[in-house]
Homo-oligomer: A and B are copies of this chain.
């Protein structure tokens, strides 16, 4: 008997009928002889509605209280899912994140899972129950509720799958899988049958909003195969796993893009040791994720330091960096929130000559100016004006022959 962990997102459980529809899918998995653990998100826009309600009362609600408030959304959908399964004649029980043994740190609103003690989940499975776990939440050592941040239900699902040594974690969402590019922007975009963890990580981090990157990281660490598929169709999705054949395929796997980019440049920084940490440590302490960092070659011991952050963090980052820039003798700080990232992602690409040149040529042919370039083992990223994104990814999809799997 295999154990499958499934996760259904908010749009899949948005109303009573959709919950019943998901219940039928869960039953189908159970009827194939599997043990099933299901992680659910809050119904539809519940989380946003609760945030709005909180803000009517307090424009800046304390994160500890907001976490408790938001955690109720997933508890509601988990109990309703259990009731839907009962109505179909199946044994099921809902558990909160705390009851499922998910222990977190106290970084309210974006807590990290410390460990999982899934005793209660195992006990309920042994009783023959389908176990429905409220996603997105866990319990701190002080028995307080903490939420895992947006996309946290994906993380709950993969972490539970790992802790329970499940055969597979299935993430059901409102897209059919991972595509070579956003199909709304590139009509030729093709659904991938499989993708490696690192490739998916680059795709997820860079805005292919299929699933949360923390969940993919966890999958990679625990070697947990993850299937991403639509909860509204029976088409096969994309399987994210570690055993991808590297050689006989198109090395470029997809084109990712991300509009949520703000660039901050500290101009005229004296180039001496300790400067970078003086700038980035306060950002880390404020829980601001810094993405790309580029330092230009130093001329006369004066350099420019450029980095990107999520647009929502841009003002906070500027307010932290400006006094530091002043104290270290930099000339000024400038920010730009009208940028976007486009990336070509694929394992083995960097060891194959010509991929980077191919990317720059494709963009140049469209008259697109490249503001920053960064590369990783499996990715080449250019930062460009956000108005040029559609042209850029259409050109890149074509330049890398992504409409076909083998070239």
Contacts and interface: CB of A to CB of B under 8 A. Distances in A.
Interface string A14-48: 00100110000000000000000000000000000
B99 A84 contact: no
Interface string A88-100: 0000011010010
Nearest to A69: B79
Given A72-B76, A76-B72, A65 B94 contact: yes
Contacts of A19: 57
A243 to B, nearest CB: 39
Contact of A86 (B56, B61, B79): B61
Given A20-B57, A72-B76, A65 B50 contact: no
Contacts of A53: 16, 80
Q: Which of A68, A75, A96 has the most CB of B within 10 A?
A: A68
Interface in A47-76: 50, 53-54, 56-59, 61-62, 64-66, 68-69, 72, 75-76
Given A53-B16, A94-B68, A143-B99, A58 B76 contact: no
A323 B173 CA distance: 53
Contacts of A383: none
Q: Which of A20, A56, A120, A143 has the most CB of B within 10 A?
A: A56
Q: In which size bucket is the chain A interface? A: 35 or more
A76 B69 contact: yes
A66 B62 CA distance: 29
Contact of A76 (B50, B78, B96, B143): B50
Interface string A141-163: 00110000000000000000000
B69 A86 contact: no
Nearest to A143: B99
B68 A79 contact: yes
A377 interface: no
A50 to B, nearest CB: 7
A83 interface: yes
A311 to B, nearest CB: 26
A120 B82 CA distance: 31
Contacts of A99: 143-144
Contacts of A72: 72, 75-76
A197 to B, nearest CB: 35
Contacts of A50: 76
A56 B14 CA distance: 13
A40 B360 CA distance: 61
Contact of A87 (B20, B57, B96): B57
Given A54-B80, A57-B20, A86 B68 contact: no
Given A50-B76, A76-B50, A99-B143, A83 B68 contact: no
Nearest to A75: B72
Contact of A83 (B57, B93, B144): B57
Nearest to A123: B142
A216 B214 CA distance: 51
Contacts of A78: 68
Q: Which of A69, A93, A120 has the most CB of B within 10 A?
A: A69
A61 B93 CA distance: 12
A286 to B, nearest CB: 21
Given A68-B75, A72-B72, A16 B83 contact: no
26 contacts: A16-B56, A16-B57, A20-B57, A50-B76, A53-B80, A54-B80, A54-B83, A57-B83, A57-B87, A58-B84, A58-B86, A62-B82, A62-B83, A62-B86, A64-B93, A65-B79, A65-B83, A66-B83, A68-B75, A68-B94, A68-B96, A69-B75, A69-B80, A72-B75, A99-B143, A99-B144
Given A57-B87, A61-B86, A66-B79, 4 more contacts: A16-B56, A53-B80, A65-B83, A120-B143
